[in-house]
Each structure stands twice: as structure tokens, then as C-alpha cells.
Structure 1
Amino acid sequence: MENIDAVIGSLEQITRIFKQFESQTVEVDGYKLSATQMLFLKIINEEECIYVGRLAQMMGRSAASLTAILDRLEERGLAVRDRNKPDRRKVFVRLTETGRIVVEKLPATSRDDFLMEFSKLDDDKKKQISLSMQQVIELMQKSLDYRTDD
């Protein structure tokens, strides 16, 4: 039982840290941006033009959950959504000139710092962490499935 308590404690700590990551904001050129919005802008900037579905996949979210964030970025003139001409169901997003200027001025985030530290680990350690995290996710998903089957 001691091991499970340590695992649960670690998961709770990870949850708190992610909430802190998410709550970080920065102001650039009069635009107050959340950590999620900064990540959005950085990904869009790297890809130049990206389908919303791909963006959602890269962020680990559903395309529908991106709508409100994209609405805010679009209203502020930082990003633009366009429909694919041949397949109007596909929507892609790109930065405006103002969006590109803002991205160039964005500071590194805690997420960026984490990625830098993670990249310093040797490949075996990265793989070990990834596999362990995947196992935890699967176990947690199973426990949710048991509760929703009732």
C-alpha cells in the first residue's frame, strides 16, 4: 500500500504543477496571454499553417476544445482560421503579421524549461519515463471505465 500512496501523491503533485503551468500569463505588446495561448501561438508559428485537427493532436486536446482559444486569438488579431477550398470541413489556422511579431517576443515558459530539462535525459531514461507514464494512464483509464460501466 506504501507504493500506491507514493504514486497517488506523485500524480497529485503533477496535477498541481500542471495547474501552475496553465495559470502562468505574460503580457506582450499589450496582449495578455495564457500559457495555453502562448503554446498555441508557438506551435502555429513553427508550422506556419496547420490544420486545427493536427493542432489539437499536438496539444493532446480535442479540436472542439480549441474553438474558444482560437476565437480569442482571432478576435485579438493574432491568428486567422481558413477553410480548405477542396474540403471545407478542414479548417486550418495561421498567424497574422501581428501574431508573428508577438510570438517573436514571447518568453520561455515553464513548459519550455521542462522540455529542455527532459531533452537532457539519455534516451533510455526518456523511454522508461514515457512507458511508465503510459502505464499509469492506462490504469487510470481502466478505473474510469469501471465506474462508467455501472
Structure 2
Amino acid sequence: MDRLEETLVALRQIMRATDLSGRSLARETGLSTSQLLAMQALKSGDEMTAGAIAKEVNLSQATISSLIDKLEGRGLVMRERGSTDKRKVYVVLTHAGEELLSQAPTALQDRFSEKFEELEDWEQGMIAAAMGRVASMMGASNIDAAPVLHTGAIDKTPV
């Protein structure tokens, strides 16, 4: 196999791994990867507004608001007014949300993050540069994409 074929196979493997992981997560929990990441951010126990969650998981405020609406509709999170500042609305995990989160498998993104952090700084830089170059070669540099390993729309619950 030549280098082009090796590269295309590796790209396809990454795409398939992302898709399969998302499908598995949806099958086991009914959550998308981005919903799981938002819930994991809430697990820290700190009071978090939608804006704080958006910043934590690197998604837009609009996307997080949509995710929270869906999670709230399923009874996994709830919104509460602040006790000291009634203008602030915090998002908190419900008991059902905590239970689901405790049983959820580790997201592909979390597994990747752990392995990536173990790499030397130069290796991380090399991978980031190579992936940026690949995105550019595919004409994808200007496509808006969140730093989430998930296929399809970020704020949609997979079926």
C-alpha cells in the first residue's frame, strides 16, 4: 500500500471510529457526544451557567442552550435561579442525570484526549500541524467545527 492509500485508510478509520463511537453512546445512553460532554462538565459540582458550560466544552452558547433544552426535556438536568443573584440561571444535573452519567461509557473524545496528553509536546505539535494541513487539503479549513469528536449536528440527539 502506498502512502496515499495509507493516509486515506487512516482518515476513513478515524471517520468510522467517530461514527461508531457516537452510535454506541447513543444506543447505550440516548445521548450524543456533545450532550455527554456537557453533562460531564456539570458533574464537577461547581455552579455553572449555560455560558460557563459552553466555554468548558468549546461549543457556542446557542448550541449549549439547545442541548440543555433537550437534556432538561429528558429530566437529566434542570435550570435553577441563583440564590444570591436571581438574574443568574444555573444548570444542574438531576439525580437521573447523575445516574445516567455514572453508567455512560467513556467517550472517544475523552480516550483520545488522555492519549494525546501523554504525547511529547513536539508530537502534539506535529499531529496538530498535520491535521490542519489535511483539513486544508480537503478544503475544510473554513468549515465551522466544534472541537468535539461527533458526526452530524452537534446539538442533535442521535437516533
Root mean square deviation, CA, Å: 3.6
What TM-score, normalized to structure 1?
0.65
Q: Please state how far the C-alpha of 1:54 moved relative to its aligned partner.
A: 1.5
Match of 2:5? none
Shift of 1:116: 2.1
Higher RCO by CA contacts (8 Å cutoff, separation 6 or greater): 2
- Structure 1's unaligned 5+ residue stretches are 1-9, 145-150
Q: Which has the higher strand share?
A: 1
**Residue 107 of structure 1, CA deviation:** 0.9
**Partner letter of residue 97 of structure 2?**
G
- Deviations for 1:106-146, whole angstroms, at most 9, x for unmatched residues? 11121122112212211332245456767999xx77799xx
* Equivalent residues of 2:68, 2:77 under 8 A apart: yes
Gap runs ≥5 in structure 2: 1-9, 145-159
Distance of 2:55 and 2:27 partners within structure 1? 25
SS in 2 for 1:56: helix
Q: In the alignment, what sits opposite 1:63?
A: 61
Q: Give me the identity figure in percent.
A: 29
Find the residue that maps to 2:111 and give its secondary structure: helix
Deviation at 1:86, TM superposition (A): 2.1
Q: Is the 8 A contact 2:77 2:91 kept in 1?
A: yes
Give the conservation status (yes or no) of the 8 Å contact 1:48–1:95. Answer: no
Distance 1:74 1:142, change over 3 A: closer
Q: Which has the higher helix share?
A: 1
SS in structure 2 of the partner of residue 49 of structure 1: coil
Q: Which residue is 2:157 aligned to? A: none
Aligned to 1:86: 85
Report the equivalent of 2:109.
111
Counterpart in the other structure of 1:126: 124
Deviations 1:33-53 (A, max 9, x none): 222221121121124431211
- Does the CA-based 8 Å contact 1:77-1:96 persist in structure 2? yes
Query: What is the aligned residue count?
Result: 139
Report the Cα distance in structure 1 between the residues aligned to 2:69 and 2:143, rounded to whole angstroms: 35
The one-letter amino acid of 1:117's match is: K
